[in-house]
Amino acid sequence: MNHPVASAKPALLTVDDDPGVSRAVARDLRRRYGEKYRIIRAESGESALEALRELKLRGDPVAVILADYRMPAMSGIEFLEKAMDLYPVARRVLLTAYADTDAAIEAINVIDLDYYLLKPWDPPEEKLYPVVDALLDAWASSERHPVEETKVIGHRWAARSSEVREFLARNQLSYRWYMSDEPEGERLLAAAGADGLRLPVVICPDGDVLVEPADTELGNRLGLRTSPSENFYDLVVVGGGPAGLGAAVYGASEGLRTALVERTATGGQAGQSSRIENYLGFPDGVSGAQLADRARRQATRFGAELITTRDVVALEVNGSARTVRFADGHTIDAHTVILATGVSYRRHPAPGIDELTGRGVFYGSAVTEAARCADQDVYIVGGANSAGQAAMYLARGARTVTIVVRAKSLEDSMSYYLIQQIQQNPRIRVRPCTEVVGVEGDGHLERIRLRDNAGGYEETVDAGFLFLFIGAAPRTEWLDGVVIRDEHGFVVSGPDLVVDGKAPSGWPLDRLPHHLETSVPGIFAAGDVRSESAKRVASAVGEGAMAVMLVHRYIGQP
């Protein structure tokens, strides 16, 4: 059950080092806006920042900030620049004397100033209120309207802290990160009544405190749907990558009662991509997160239920029903099921990898870690598109990015356009015929051991970040004994099941399996989890849509 978040009045904050002026501004604002807004005044930039920090801690919105230009310890421009970090979408006004108008005009570019107001502002009905009215209207109608933030306090090199941040980011849940050993993090822990020994600590927008929360607990408290609303559906889609989202959109839009079940976050591996440049209709490219978010919103608009943080562990055939079983023992039934679980990165066997995962070693792009890679030497293992996209993205801020591949070149596994971009980027280098044979560090990654297979030597390099994109494992062990899989665990479907014109053993129907249908009627496979699939975003989306067409055919005429 989700708890409603208390809605505080938005604040109007004014700061001026002259007490008389400060009181006058607050008085005029209160007279017109006091009923709907909180009026807060301060007499120095530092005290105003402290007030903003307290508001941020409570999750209270701030609509407009008015600051005097001439303040001795901290000018109005300096204050507004710092205030932007706390409330980036609050409207900003600079109070100036006529002699300071040039500085005010310059501040429009420096701090994205919304307006400068000349002193005196009498009568306020003519000089103050129209300005504030317009700013409040713009703030209220802005697409970037501030959302209530979740606060996460954790240790920089703690694996679970990294996982929580990644979970929130991939599910498009706004949060702010604080390190537990820095003053602001310590203050938040004290305010939350947490001892800091068990991390991460999550402070919800309504003030509730979660200590070392599981993903399901986070999802429940922050508004994600984690439980199905019905017991029976026309279609259950397992997996929320491009194939699963495509199936959910087409299934729901065509009137099927559709539920999509995802273990972590929609988007799959594609959702973690920093830039997809060869997807139809996006000539300038699109991030995986943007693509996933649009697809998620599209699916829900058509009525699909998107159920997250639920791990599917079994699939059963019960007469005409197909039963999906969750790790907690609960089940849902459906006429049909589409398997769209995609693939996972294979675990790297090198010594030290498991111990330092989440502590400088990451599987996939780990989008929340990109900012920490600034001015660092970063290593990436893998030669497919996901590795190339990550390299291009990280190279924006990292000092160097090194792609480590066992093959002689990238040409056999990476798209041509990405290879060209990598070759033209001076910060990226490729080390062919090389592999990681070990990692080391005291509590976090500090060194990587590399073996050059062509030269026959090993070396140790200093590095703080290692991102692994090594191969694809379908993780379909839970389907053992239910549907036919190939030797690598990928699900076999359609014509690949037919041998000498005959259906596979145990097939109960007179017809042969449909193109994406598995060895069990009414269970389909789409996307990367399917044997012999193309392993591209566009083809996965297409297979998801095609699977829905075959679902209709199955329901109408088995």
191-226 pLDDT tens trace = 888 888 899 999 998 888 999 999 999 999 998 999
**Measured CA distances, 247 to 3, 137, 156, 277, 526 (Å):** 31, 40, 38, 22, 9
**Measured CA distances, 441 to 362, 449, 555 (Å):** 14, 11, 56
Residue 267, pLDDT above cutoff 80: yes
Separation CA 31–CA 200 (nearest Å): 44
Residue 407, pLDDT above cutoff 80: yes
Which residues neighbour 166 within 8 Å (Cβ) at sequence distance 6 or greater?
Answer: 366, 367, 368
The yes-or-no answer to whether 11-141 and 353-468 have a common fold is no
**Going by CATH, does the domain composed of 150-221 fall within 3.20.20.70?**
no
Cβ atoms 396, 374 nearer than 8 A: no
Mean of pLDDT values over 313-319: 97
Confidence class of residue 145 from pLDDT cuts 50, 70 and 90?
A: very low
353-468 CATH fold: FAD/NAD(P)-binding domain (3.50.50)
Question: Would the pTM of this model clear 0.85, i.e. be above it?
Answer: no
Cβ atoms 374, 398 nearer than 8 A: yes
Residue 509, pLDDT above cutoff 80: yes
pLDDT of residue 75: 85
Please report where in the chains the tokens 């036919």 appear, as a residue. Answer: 484
**Measured CA distances, 397 to 208, 370, 391, 428, 446 (Å):** 36, 8, 11, 12, 19
Which residues neighbour 162 within 8 Å (Cβ) at sequence distance 6 or greater?
Answer: 358, 359, 362, 366, 368, 369
pLDDT of residue 113: 78
Confidence class of residue 4 from pLDDT cuts 50, 70 and 90?
A: very low
Beta strands in 143-302 (DSSP E): 150-154, 175-179, 201-203, 209-211, 232-238, 258-262
**Going by CATH, does the domain composed of 232-339+474-556 fall within 3.50.50.60?**
yes
Residue-wise pLDDT for 216-256, tens only, equals 999 999 989 999 999 999 999 999 999 999 999 999 999 99
pLDDT of residue 5: 37
Confidence class of residue 102 from pLDDT cuts 50, 70 and 90?
A: low
Higher pLDDT, 168 or 73: 168
Higher pLDDT, 75 or 478: 478
Q: Which of these ranges, 53-67, 258-272, 391-405, has the smallest mean pLDDT?
A: 53-67
Look at domain 11-141 and name its CATH class.
Answer: alpha beta
Looking at the chain, the whole-number percentage of residues with pLDDT higher than 70 is 94
Separation CA 94–CA 216 (nearest Å): 45
pLDDT of residue 268: 85
Residue 104, pLDDT above cutoff 60: no
Residue-wise pLDDT for 412-454, tens only, equals 889 999 999 999 999 999 999 999 999 999 999 999 999 999 9
Separation CA 153–CA 437 (nearest Å): 34
Return the exposure string of 371-383: e unless at least 16 CB atoms fall within 10 Å of the residue's CB, then b: eebeebbbbbbbb
- CB half-sphere exposure, 142, CA atoms < 13 A: 16
Dihedral, 342, 348, 349, 351 alpha carbons, nearest 10: -150
Residue 393, pLDDT above cutoff 70: yes
Please report where in the chains the tokens 């609960």 appear, as a residue. Answer: 330
**Measured CA distances, 490 to 340, 416, 472, 477 (Å):** 11, 27, 10, 10
What's the mean per-residue pLDDT of the chain? 90
End-to-end alpha-carbon separation of the chain, Å? 39
Residue-wise pLDDT for 333-355, tens only, equals 999 999 999 999 899 999 999 99
Mean of pLDDT values over 77-90: 85
Determine the length of the chain.
558
Would you list the domain boundaries of the chain?
11-141, 150-221, 232-339+474-556, 353-468
